[in-house]
Structure 1
Amino acid sequence: MDKLDTTQDLQGAGKTPTLAYSCVVDRNPVIERSALIWVTCLLDIETVAPEKIFVHTVETDLDVLPQLAARGVNIVPVPRFGDGKYCNKLVQPLSPANFDADILVMNDCDIAATGRFGTALSAEAAMAGQVSGRFALGKTADFPNPPLAKIRTLMEAFKAAPPEALAHDSLFYHPLPLGYFNGGLYALPVSLCAEFGAAWQDWALRLLGDPRTAKILERHAHHVDQISFYLALRDLKLHPHCLDERFNFPTHFPHPESRNASIEPALAIHFHNNLDDRGLLGLSGIRAIDRDVIRVNDRLSALGLETDWNPGEDKRFRSWRSLEAGVSMTTKNAPLLKSLLQAAGIETAESVTDVCCGSGAHLVGLSPRGYRGFDRRARMAEAATQRLPEASFTTGAADAPGDLVLCLDFAEYVAGFDAPDQSVRMLAELTGDKLLLLGEPRSSAQGDLVRLLRGTGDFPEILRLGQFAGRPVYLALKRSDASDLELLDMAQPEAARLLQYLYAGKAMIPARFGAELEVLSRMPTCLDAARIAVLGGDPTGSFATALALRGVEIVAESSLALTAEGAAPTRGGDKPRPVDVLIGFAGFDEDGRSDAALRQIARNLVPGGRGIVAAATAKRSDALVPGSEGAETGAQVIRLLEKQNLVLTHQARVPTPFGTELDGLVIEVVKPRVGIVGTRKKFRTPKFLRDFERNLRHRIKGKKPKS
């Protein structure tokens, strides 16, 4: 009975296939370091037996090999193959080693298993074996490298039938052939290795030896190993069993913020060159992934793998930085967290209790009063004390109530309780006035935080302030500090309640309050990475804060002066970037400021961008404020906007209660992606034919033709 039948019989008997793990190492500091991490994760986190791990090497004098051999893994010398770099991995199926397993797992070195990888992959292999006796496992490529059109052209050039079944890449959902796997993970039944290895190498040599390959693939030519794997899989009619992104999760590029809430914890992290200054895994900026990154790093550090790491400037990964050891973020999100803390009142509360305070990095630049930080992790409390010696940090569970309670790491806090509802009840007992709570993505199992908060009976008002690093942010109020201002019945009451809370306690509510509510109600809940400029408003005011809590980048008004079309470059040589939305709060009058402000709105918008003019009007009147008798009306403002080739999309009058002095006006326009067609006559006949016809008419009339 061959290995394949054995695999199917094991599944039928309730057993799972056994795995052998393989990689290829060559002379490169990042690859050697990565191989050490790969082996350590398999041995000490996945608890794989060392005899099941095979490190193939094309150079036998690498510094890392003695360290790996000392752990008992198999070191297998092999010759270079193909291009001598990317294609070296093709030697693995035809390796002289005896794998003694059902499935051969071929990894890139820069893969870190998180502890659940082997069990899950064995189950996937068993399922694939039930579909077909001949199968291969992998995750479809992260990107279309190369695009489907180039793969079709290449296959046509080599007289291969075009791909029939299609899948999509794991990040942007572009079409790719079914079975076009990312090279970080391939898995095959050991019984098929000899047959598949020969076909894989044959296709690679055919592609590498033909000049048409480089001409067709262009900058994608180094992906010959992936393309030849797919072509061999097709020729041998293997069943392509597609794994999801958990088995091969990439962390070497920024992921869209919108994915953060749906990404599940990784089974294996494909880190590429994303190593931090300690030579350990770098953060990804995605909460669900970074919790595993931190856990793996803690284990690697405990095993002595931490080191001073400098792989060279061309290999250093700089996209992410850590806020603290338990929280990751992008650099652009640093101001967002500060806005969240300030909106919660960290600098105005009489006392602040911070549970799971971490290293205290989130307090830099803030001045809380009566602050006390608590963390069960002694190393965190020590790091926080070193960073902010003037503040009070304590190791252990929080036992001091505060007017404002912060819980920025709910997953860590809830780990100290038997159930999430117990932790929320404790937070309610500690809270004197307000609780700022960062939840977890939907992929976590922490439960519905809003339901848990309401279940305590202590929080009559719960505001969702925004989203931070893929996590929802809630501000739970024990008693309402909002003013008695009568609010409008808005389509999105959350925006109204949020703005009312931010203005609470201020001596004067601005006249444009109703217009601000209308603007907020028209803006999406999540505005991550959008650039929004607010003209005529306070950049640190409540309205700007309400926008910032949705993840926008607020652009300073002064930076818009040279953003006009055709403007000269700035001192650094770069043209200022335009904005996605430009909001103008202004009183329009007859001294010329209207034209200037609206021209600025038009010139600074990206094609397709929105401009929103919000203004105050006299009570139940069309006259704009400040209101002299000659003040412009809303209709005049619309005409001014249309003069700038902006198209009106929305107009709303916002009447406020008669107890307030002014009403509001909101006018929304969009900048067309192409220029607006004017009234000039458009000719379908080419100019040279028009000239010929004109001159012919002149000749018939006896006139001299025009040159």
Structure 2
Amino acid sequence: MAASFIIDADPVFAYTGWNLVHSILKHTALAPSDIHVQCTPEVADRVLERFQSLGCQTHRLTRFGDGRYCNKLAAWENLRDQDIDHVVFLDTDMICISDFTAFLPKDAIGGKVVDHPNPELDLLDDLFNRAGFADRPPIIQVEASEGTTYQGNCNGGFYSVPSRFADTLFDVWRKRAEQLLADIEPLRAVGKEKHVDQISFCMALHETALPYVSLPSNVNYYLHFPGPHTQFDPGRPLALIHYHNQSLNVLGLLEPLGAVEPHEVEGTRLANALIREHFDTQLFWDLRYDLFPERGSGIGSRGDNLAYKRDLLVAEGIENASSVLDVGCGDLEVVGSLDLHDYLGLDQSRQSLDVARTKRPDWQFMLAPCDAPAAEFVICFEVLIHQRSLDEYRQLVEYVAQRTLKRLIISGYDAQDDHVAANHMIYFHEPLRLSLEATGRFSSIQQIGGHSDVVIYRCDVG
């Protein structure tokens, strides 16, 4: 068996896909090589490399049709020649909390009925008519309302397909999707264009008469709004939560509006525990700057903290320096308004650098990690606290130390406390002063301030 999902250029796909992979590995018997991460052409190579580091198979995906909503239809092309007997095609905004593979029929295609009648049955009937169908699938109840739809109109987040049916299914599915895209106006008129893949899947099932089983919502459980789950089997575990991206909060955790019942609350707790355990800083910050630009780099570069750091840097002579290296420049909120010479900003988030370039197109920026040149004045605010391992932490301390020609202003922790221990985004490894002393680079190391829960040191060379 294999699992397949698609990552598009929007950073949310890589972040949620990362969590999905770890959840599948934790709760099913699938190996990393059984997980196929399919990336659209715009996705950066370094994203593929992140998933390759886990042992996942990665592929470049050729977009299908309009290139927006039907890309699952292109996914089978990369899997056709693989030695796979069964494929589950997933959305990335899902997370596994128990073994969903136990629900899958071996001899039939499987899916979960749509949450709402998307589109309404009368329009769906008209689309079948326009497509030339003489008969219709059985009418069934949708999951989250009183509406009805045709059997096989499944929520597009989860399709279970035995490989022996895949060629036949995908050939007809593609044909029907192309017809709908060419005759899109009825769907566009009601704002339902994004459901082309689901409707064409339903048509393909009906046309091919391939065996199909309607699965319980245990394997595709919506949580982005509160509502009834008429297809849920309470005698079996909740396996796969479909939370939708709107459920992500500024910390990258799930905060779904639909988590009301005890099993939903517990499922969300388990999902968040897994996200914390496998938190990826690089993928998170791209997500954060994209989805929550108002929060950006965090409370350390907003409000009073922002003004405090800016004033401190000016007092320490940053505007008089002949060159400035800003390691972890973020969205440039702190230094963007200063008069700096020969400035170079580094960050591991492409999204943050895009924001920074719009604020100061006259400055230079590089995507970290990189071999940046040394500078007279180096800044490293609230970057050390996000280093997951002691090795990463010490490497970054050494990196900024070796690139400081005259003065380094750096923040971090000098002690562990309960707040740090409880937060999945920040880490304490050792007292910052000791780390700085261990470099042997500085003639003077002095604490010159602090804000929130970090201390700030001035380190001078020579």
> TM-score when scaled to structure 2?
0.58
CA distance in 2, matches of 1:250, 1:164: 24
Residues 253, 211 of structure 1: alpha-carbon distance in 2 compared, 3 angstrom cutoff: closer
- Which of residues 75, 87, 110 is equivalent to 1:137? 110
Residues 257, 208 of structure 1: alpha-carbon distance in 2 compared, 3 angstrom cutoff:
closer
- 8 A Cα contact 1:248 1:268, kept in partner: yes
Are residue 88 (structure 1) and residue 71 (structure 2) matched?
yes
Q: Which runs of 5+ in 2 are unaligned?
A: 296-416, 423-462
Q: Shift in Å at residue 264 of structure 1?
A: 7.0
The answer to whether residue 105 in structure 2 is matched with residue 125 in structure 1 is: yes
Counterpart of 1:67? 50
> In structure 1, what is the equivalent of residue 171 of structure 2?
198
Residue identity in the other structure for 2:10: N
Encode CA deviations 1:176-228: one digit per residue, 9 max, x unaligned.
1111111000011111212211111111111111255446x621122000000
Q: Does 1:20 align with 2:2?
A: yes
- Aligned with 2:224: secondary structure? coil
Between the aligned partners of 2:294 and 2:141, the Cα distance in structure 1 is 29
Residue 225 of structure 2 corresponds to residue 253 of structure 1: yes
Q: Which amino acid aligns with 1:73?
A: C
- Aligned position for 2:212: 240
Aligned in 2, Cα 1:259/1:211: closer, same or farther, shift over 3 Å? closer
Counterpart code for 1:25: I
The alignment's TM-score, normalised by the length of structure 1, stands at 0.38
In the aligned structure 2, how far is the partner of 1:88 from the partner of 1:144?
A: 22
CA distance in 2: counterparts of 1:138 and 1:315, whole angstroms: 38
Matched, 1:269 2:248: no
The structural deviation recorded for 1:290 is 2.0
Of the structure 1 ranges 217-226 and 201-210, higher mean CA displacement relative to structure 2 is found in 217-226
Q: 1:96, CA displacement in angstroms?
A: 4.7
Q: Is the 8 A contact 2:33 2:55 kept in 1?
A: yes
Is the partner of 1:22 in helix, strand or coil?
A: strand
Residue 9 of structure 2 aligns with an amino acid whose one-letter code is R
Aligned residue number for residue 521 of structure 1: none
Q: Please show how residues 178-327 of structure 1 align to structure 2 within 5 Å.
A: 178-214=151-187, 218-255=190-227, 265-273=237-245, 274-283=247-256, 284-305=259-280, 307=284, 310=288, 311-312=290-291
How many Å separate the matches in 2 of 1:175 and 1:147? 8
SS in structure 2 at match of 1:183: strand
Partner Cα distance (1:171, 1:305) in 2: 34
How many Å apart are 1:235 and its aligned residue?
0.8
Partner of 1:108: 91
Q: Which SS does the other structure have where 1:40 is aligned? A: helix
Which string of whole-angstrom CA distances, capped at 9 and with x for unpartnered residues, describes residues 357-409 of structure 1? xxxxxxxxxxxxxxxxxxxxx989x98xxxxxxxxxxxxxxxxxxxxxxxxxx
- 1:261, 1:71 → 2: CA distance? 33
Partners of 1:67 and 1:95 lie apart in 2 by 19
CA 1:218–1:107: 2 relative to 1, 3 Å = same
Distance 1:43 1:261 in 2: 24
Shift of 1:80: 0.8
| Secondary structure, counterpart of 2:123 in structure 1 | helix
Deviation per CA, 1:648-695, whole angstroms, max 9, x where unpaired? xxxxxxxxxxxxxxxxxxxxxxxxxxxxxxxxxxxxxxxxxxxxxxxx
Q: Which residue in 2 is equivalent to 1:54? A: 36
Aligned-partner Cα distance in 2 for 1:257–1:138: 15
User: Do the aligned partners of 2:112 and 2:155 also contact (CA within 8 Å) in 1?
Assistant: yes
**Uncovered stretches (5+) of structure 1, i.e. residues with no partner:** 1-18, 130-134, 317-377, 384-707
Per the alignment, in what secondary structure is the counterpart of residue 202 of structure 1?
Answer: helix
Structure 2 partner of 1:422: none
- Alignment match, 2:14: 32
1:313 shift after superposition? 5.2
Match of 2:354 in 1: none
Q: Name the amino acid aligned to 1:178.
A: Q
Q: Distance in 2 between matches of 1:315 and 1:165?
A: 48
Flag the 1:245–1:256 CA change in 2: closer, same or farther, 3 A.
closer
Is the 1:264–1:288 Cα contact (8 Å) retained in structure 2? no
Equivalences for residues 357-506 of structure 1 within 5 A: none
CA RMSD, Structure 1 to Structure 2 (Å): 3.1
Distance 1:159 1:263, change over 3 A: same
**Residue deviations 1:133-189 (CA, integer Å, cap 9, x gap):** xx3100000111101111001111222124241221111141111111110000111
Report the 3-state secondary structure (helix = DSSP H, G, I; strand = E; otherwise coil) of the residue aligned with 1:125. coil
Which aligned pairs between 1:289-688 and structure 2 lie closer than 5 A? 289-305=264-280, 307=284, 310=288, 311-312=290-291
Residue type matched to 1:302 in 2?
Answer: E
Bigger CA radius of gyration = 1
Give the 3 Å change call, closer, same or farther, for CA 64–159 of structure 1 in structure 2. Answer: same
Q: Does 1:159 align with 2:132?
A: yes
Distance in 1, matches of 2:229 and 2:195, equals 28
CA distance in 1 between counterparts of 2:231 and 2:215 reads: 18
Distance 1:247 1:315, change over 3 A: farther
- Map Cα deviations across residues 505-546 of structure 1 (whole Å, 9 max, x no partner): xxxxxxxxxxxxxxxxxxxxxxxxxxxxxxxxxxxxxxxxxx
Confirm or deny that 1:43 pairs with 2:25: yes
Question: 1:281 Cα shift?
Answer: 2.6
Task: Supply the AA of the counterpart residue of 1:268.
Answer: L
Distance 1:183 1:258, change over 3 A: closer
Decide whether the 8 Å contact of 2:145 with 2:228 is kept in 1. no
Once the two structures are TM-superposed, the CA of residue 254 in structure 1 deviates from its matched residue by 2.6
Paired AA for residue 54 in structure 1 = H
Following TM superposition, the consecutive aligned residue runs of length 4 or more in structure 1 with deviations greater than 4 angstroms are 256-265, 306-309, 313-316
Change over 3 Å in CA distance of 1:260–1:226 after alignment to 2: closer
Aligned-partner residue type, residue 289 of structure 1: E
Q: 1:47 to 1:250 in 2, by over 3 A?
A: same
Pair 183,259 (structure 1): closer, same or farther in 2 beyond 3 Å: closer
Deviation digits for residues 563-583 of structure 1, max 9, x if unmatched?
xxxxxxxxxxxxxxxxxxxxx
The alpha-carbon deviation at position 263 of structure 1 amounts to: 9.8
Alignment length (residue pairs)? 292
AA aligned to 1:290 is V
In 2: Cα distance, 1:259 partner to 1:79 partner: 34
Deviation at 1:271, TM superposition (A): 1.3
After superposition, the Cα gap between the structure-2 partners of 1:201 and 1:259, relative to the gap in structure 1 and judged at 3 Å, is: closer
Inter-CA distance 302–241: structure 2 relative to 1 (3 Å threshold): same
Contact 1:138 1:241 survives alignment (8 Å): yes
Letter in 1 for 2:197: D
Q: Can you list the C-alpha shifts for 1:309-359, whole angstroms capped at 9, x where unaligned?
A: 63425999xxxxxxxxxxxxxxxxxxxxxxxxxxxxxxxxxxxxxxxxxxx
CA contact (8 A) 1:55 1:76 kept: yes
Partners of 2:90 and 2:234 in 1: how far apart?
26
CA 58–257 in structure 1, closer or farther in 2 if over 3 Å, else same: closer
**Distance change in 2, residues 1:125/1:272 (3 Å):** same
1: CA distance, partners of 2:230 / 2:166: 40
Change in CA separation of 1:257 and 1:35 when aligned onto 2, cut-off 3 Å: closer
Q: Secondary structure at the match of 2:76?
A: coil
1:38 to 1:62, Cα distance in 2 relative to 1, 3 A: farther
Q: Render the CA deviation track for 1:439-462: whole Å, top value 9, x for unaligned.
A: xxxxxxxxxxxxxxxxxxxxxxxx
Structure 1 CA distance for aligned equivalents of residues 123 and 197 of structure 2: 15
Higher relative contact order (CA 8 A, sep 6+): 2
Contact 2:111–2:215 (CA under 8 A) maintained in structure 1: yes
Residues 94 and 194 of structure 1 are in contact (CA less than 8 Å); yes or no, is this contact kept in structure 2? no
Give the 3-state SS of the residue equivalent to 1:83 in structure 2: coil
Superposition deviation, residue 78 in structure 1: 1.8
Go from structure 1 to structure 2 and tell me whether the alpha carbon gap of 1:290 and 1:188 turns closer, same or farther (over 3 Å shift).
same
